[in-house]
Chain A
């Protein structure tokens, strides 16, 4: 069998190098065409009518006035009379028209009557959710009661992290044209190879009839896998409008109401341990919601999974709110926040530096040595030893504090197929039904192919974003980089073998004596005996060489090109103004491993981006619902806040690139770096204040309330 192993770390010319993303110029010149930018000729615009009620039965729909509007080409009822609506924002009807303004007018002209039913849209107080709570059962390990009875110290705390949205800047939606023999579908998607089949299924058509094209997409973060109801309705509107293409993207309010959320997580946590910081017992009662189907379930205790005595209870709460979708590292950021907060509070209570407590208890994690090394590195970068003081010792109005967050993730490569074609003129095409969701996938694939073929980056043309290319998995769970790099590596090695067979006779050697290097085909150990890449390709005759490579998750670990198990530590320094309650980020440090790093430059960007998302979640983001109206109150970007450039402080990213990690092969990065930041920031604020703010985001109101509670205590 061919040898697919990665070239040794010190021999790589292209992989592992800090290469600027290839599609950067397209994006930064405004010329990249995102699905929402697709203006086909004869384009129609779609608009959705959504339910204002969180729980209601549709009793009637009157389309008369809407139909009478000039320029309307089709109207579709999505939730007809009798339909029970389970959350505000549910799609009720859709319209297509010759202009977007007319489509919106028509939506407003549709008259819907509802029988309003009782709803529940809040879960922060478990005592108030009544029958909407569903216990997920108790898990017990060891003897928690005994551990707590015998402990030197015990702490108890309440912690909460609310529902947040994905808030992709390009909203969900698509342009779609129902043609005679096929449907052309331009969705903003994370799942090029599967979203066409998904649409076909909803339309009851063969999968072969949907052609997907998505070259760029404006953010997904886990929310953009399916074709969605609005995609299918846009297709039907197109059909009913004689096949004219329909562009239908959610407006911002709808995007923030129904296009996906991250589940909340609340917990009452008790920790027991020894004076020396060893944690011996854990008890948690947690609850969460992710909409009508209940919520996620954070893995507690997080990372410190082998605390010897544990009791966990979890309750799912069903709400009349827009449903959850995967959100970068599902359940992990919440789990990390809850766990790291409780451990930090334990450390505080026994007057120990939390760094020491984390370091010591890494013993009960799956990777003690890795975490200890990372803790030490992060502490060095943020200058922990010099800066840390116990919260009780802080004085003054502006108080600084330090905190730690921890992360673990799988990140093995998904199923992926790649086809590489070497043309007789020496040009190379690499095709995968994958997608670049902003993670520099296109660039990394090019690096792998160029490395393997001994060519410069410019010698390889990578094509993605089209479902007529060989299938690759959706970009979720940090599975893409491992999958596409492995399939590309194999396809390139396979293609190269074929090329060597053609070239070997001319050089008077056997194919196995050849290698590709520096745009040449060279006899191993005899660099003088060589042929330029171009000359070599001429030897193949008129027919291009075309070979496949496949990453098959079940066998991938054995092959070693990609694997799983990424660890990370983040530390934060914040400054809190105890008069205004404003928390300001001074610095966030991330130490992150992800095995072999294909492109450190874009990897660092991805980590920094995740740290910034953590700043948003720790300080600003919260979907606020109103129990009276059943609505989301901040389904906009004024009151659903994201961090701006001045809010993020200094960001220090340290990719843990070492021969040991490199030897593990490629591991995904998108999720692991999006986990520990919230915990780090919340713990830093607790350290600064000398008191825990139980709930993130750490708004001034919550900070001041926590301070007031302490004064009153």
Chain B
């Protein structure tokens, strides 16, 4: 295949204390291709209760301080969806493959499922809810509508956030760059036909203010 499943570098959480490394520590991930599937699961079961107890944290979301109680193991995505009723970001693969959970943390496009909520403290978090006031559309959202780059729409907020973050960094993209930038997101309904045109149109719209 092409390089589509390689995640853009800056999509990885920068902190050493990512959910992924925690999972690895608990013996959960990367086991499917080895034989000890059942054994590793048992190991994971005993690891599950290692960290518990809720802590109150304050998150800076779309320019507002929001305090929320989470266990240390709660992802930013689950904190948003389950505790703050910010459900624009979706949970699909829950392990950094599909991009449905894409948010922008500290200016970086990230998978919300692969960042711990406690790790996002102190960094500005942008979610799709903050892109435009209710009843209005951000140019990226508008372009996705115009080019019908959505069907069921479940992947759409993730694509829109990935596009937004990409255009922030690269306001004049080529189609090859668009391919690469959005290759960390997946759509099952197959809405890619209008997507490149949508991204180009959004770029133009943003430039023209």
Would A167 and B188 be within 8 Å (CB), given that A20-B146, A100-B82, A634-B32 are in contact?
A: yes
Q: Which residues of A contact B11 (CB under 8 A)?
A: none
Establish whether residues A637 and B145, one from each chain, have CB atoms under 8 Å apart when the complex forms: no
- Asked whether A39 lies within 8 Å of B82 as measured between CB atoms, the reply is yes
**Residue in A29, A169, A645 whose CB lies within 8 Å of B178:** A645
| Distance to closest chain B CB from A679 (angstroms) | 17
The answer for the CA separation of A411 and B89 in the assembled complex, in Å, is: 35
Is the pair B150, A636 in contact by a Cβ cutoff of 8 Å?
no
Q: Which residue of B lies closest to A635 (CB)?
A: B32
Q: Specify the chain A residue showing the minimal Cβ separation from B160.
A: A28
A620 and B160 contacting across the interface, CB-CB below 8 Å: no
A693 to chain B, nearest CB (A): 15
**Nearest chain A residue, comparing its CB with the CB of B176:** A646
| Contacting residues of chain B (81-130) with chain A, CB-CB under 8 angstroms | 81-82, 85, 87-95, 97-98, 100, 127-129
- Give per-residue flags for B24-55: 1 if the beta carbon is below 8 A from chain A beta carbons, else 0: 00000000110101100100010011000000
Which residues of B lie under 8 Å from residue A609 when comparing CB positions?
151, 189-191, 193
Given contacts A104-B48, A637-B97, A646-B3, contact A169 B81 (CB under 8 A): no
Contact of A170 among B78, B152, B185 (CB under 8 A): B152
CB distance from B63 to the nearest CB of A (A): 16
* Among A105, A219, A252, contact of B188 (Cβ-Cβ < 8 Å): A219
User: Which residues from chain B contact A642 at a C-beta distance below 8 Å?
Assistant: 186-188
- How distant is the Cα of A633 from the Cα of B48 in the complex, in angstroms? 22
Query: CB distance B183 to A33 under 8 Å?
Result: no
Residue of B nearest to A605 (CB): B148
Q: Does B61 contact A (CB under 8 A)?
A: no
- B contact residues, total (Cβ < 8 Å): 75
Across-interface contacts of A221 in B (CB, < 8 A): 188
Q: A24-B148, A438-B151, A609-B151 are in contact. Are A218 and B90 (CB under 8 A)?
A: yes
Give A646 to B49 CA distance when docked, in angstroms.
41
B2 nearest in chain A by CB position? A646
Instruction: Give the secondary structure class of A's interface.
Output: loop
B157: interface (CB < 8 Å):
yes
Residues of B within 8 A of A639 (CB): 32
The smallest C-beta distance from A89 to any residue of chain B, in angstroms, reads: 13
- Min Cβ gap B192→A in Å is 5
Does A644 sit at the interface, judged by CB under 8 A?
Answer: yes
CB-CB < 8 A to B97: which residues of A?
A: 636-638
Distance in Å: Cβ of B64 to nearest Cβ of chain A: 16
Residues 595-640 of A contacting B (Cβ, < 8 Å)? 601-602, 604-606, 608-613, 619-620, 628-629, 631, 633-634, 636-639
Which residues of chain A have C-beta atoms less than 8 A from B184's C-beta?
644
The residues in A between 624 and 672 inclusive whose CB is less than 8 angstroms from any CB of B are 628-629, 631, 633-634, 636-639, 641-648, 651, 653
Chain B's closest residue to A632 (CB) is: B32
Whole-angstrom distance between the alpha carbons of A100 and B113 in the complex? 14
| A31 close to B (CB within 8 Å) | yes
B2 with A647: CB separation less than 8 A: yes
Residue numbers in B under 8 Å from A30 (CB-CB): 87-89, 127-129, 131, 156-157, 160
Knowing A645-B195, A646-B180 are in contact, say whether A52-B38 is a contact too (CB < 8 A): yes
| CB–CB B4/A647 < 8 A | yes
Are A217 and B157 in touch, CB under 8 angstroms?
no
| Interface residue? A559 (CB, 8 A) | no
1/0 contact trace for A335-352 toward B, CB 8 Å?
A: 000000000000000000
A24 to B138 Cα, complex, angstroms: 13
B193 close to A36 (CB less than 8 A)? no
Which residues of chain B from 143 to 183 have a CB within 8 Å of any chain A CB?
Answer: 144-146, 148, 150-157, 160, 178-180, 182-183
Please tell me which one of the listed residues A25, A439, A653 contacts residue B151 in the complex, with CB atoms under 8 A apart: A439
Decide if B1 touches A645 in the complex (CB within 8 Å). Answer: no
Q: Is B74 an interface residue (CB 8 A)?
A: yes
A21 interface hit (Cβ, 8 Å): yes
Say how far B147's CB is from chain A's closest CB, in angstroms.
9
A-B contact pairs, 12 of them (CB 8 A): A28-B153, A32-B153, A101-B74, A104-B48, A170-B152, A438-B153, A582-B2, A610-B190, A636-B93, A637-B98, A645-B179, A653-B193
Please provide the 4 A-B residue pairs with the shortest distance between their CB atoms, ordered closest to farther. Answer: A30-B88, A612-B190, A218-B154, A27-B153
9 further interface pairs, Cβ-Cβ under 8 Å (given A27-B150, A612-B187) = A28-B153, A29-B131, A31-B129, A52-B38, A99-B82, A604-B193, A605-B191, A637-B92, A647-B4
